Amino acid sequence: MKLPSLLLAAALAAGPSLAAAPGPYVLVLGTAQDGGIPHLGAHAPADEAARRDPSLARTAASLLVVDPATGKRWLIDATPDVARQLEAAAAAAPPRTDAGGRTPILDGVFLTHAHVGHYLGLAWFGREIYGADRLPVHGSARMVDFLARNAPWELLVRLGHVELRTLAPGRAVALAPGLTITPFLVPHREEYTDTLGFEIRGPGRALLYVPDIDKWERWSDPKWGPIESAIARVDVALLDATFFNADELPGRSLAEIPHPFVVESIARFARLPESERRKVVFTHLNHSNRAALPDSEERRAIEAAGLRVAAEMERIELGAAR
């Protein structure tokens, strides 16, 4: 047998493993606080930098969970930037096309809570824009009740564009074989609803998502324990980094909009071993947070502590560890 034939035979023998779909993954769609960067009417350094260089712009915090084996995709939080985010994600995680020819753009939406940056994008799935057909929208009992009772969201339900599904804290939802998402309650301002975080677990790796929380010391879930125990359960922890410190917004009381300051998180996680600190990835940065700037002292402080800031459109694998 000639060499080309040998190579062809070897390639055919290896074909199934080479052609096998990669494992599930998470695509980071957005990493900013609800208003994005640049922020409306704001002139903080991150805002001005993003106006000069659009590559520094950030959209509101959101994730896309992707299962290549089935072609399914699930959105974590529907932000006001949802159209732009899903358009940007199309190249990295293209939606499948059904037999009828229309693209089923998503297989479900999971909502953390009813603050503007996390659910306003649901409006894009109504008849004025996408016209979804019974798109599953998952949320806490209070979130589901809020959407069902209040305009304009109840119209989405009434017209069949979305189908509301209630999540039970601590109970995993199967997305695909070997891929689950588990909600848990976290303390955060409850003007309309309570707030959920999510553990997304694949066949080999897991991710924790807590984009909004009042303070770490106010949360100790019966199943996950304090935040350090929750980090220990997973391979990547995407955590709230809204404000770097208490001096960020002169003239405003940050006690009215509590979040863990990044400096507090750095100090708290300094007690963890290096392998655990490497899991911590910050997201949900306010426009005032200079850590949004890659060349800032704040960013260097985060990295010197063994932590990092999430990049938009970065891919986090959930398949078997390599």
- pLDDT per residue, tens digit, the chain (322 aa), is 333 333 333 333 333 333 345 899 999 999 999 999 999 999 999 999 999 999 999 999 999 999 999 999 999 999 999 999 999 999 888 888 765 667 789 999 999 999 999 999 999 999 999 999 999 999 999 999 999 999 999 999 999 999 999 999 999 999 999 999 999 999 888 888 999 999 999 999 999 999 999 899 998 888 888 999 999 999 999 999 999 998 887 766 666 678 899 999 999 999 999 999 999 999 999 999 999 999 999 999 999 999 999 999 999 999 975 4
Structure-block tokens of residue 163: 């189908």
- Domain assignment present for residue 321? The answer is no
By residue range, what is the domain housing residue 99? Answer: 22-311
How many domains in the chain? 1
- Domain assignment present for residue 289? The answer is yes
CATH number at residue 128: 3.60.15.10
Contact by Cβ (8 Å): 225, 270: no
Question: With a threshold of 0.75, does the pTM exceed it?
Answer: yes
- Domain assignment present for residue 86? The answer is yes
- Domain assignment present for residue 272? The answer is yes
Choose among 150, 78, 80, 151: nearest CA to 111. Answer: 78
Choose among 211, 165, 164: nearest CA to 188. Answer: 211
- Domain assignment present for residue 11? The answer is no
- Domain assignment present for residue 250? The answer is yes
- Domain assignment present for residue 320? The answer is no
Kindly list the distances between the CA atom of residue 183 and the CA atoms of 173, 223, 233, 261, in Å, as whole numbers in the listed order: 9, 11, 14, 24
- Domain assignment present for residue 15? The answer is no
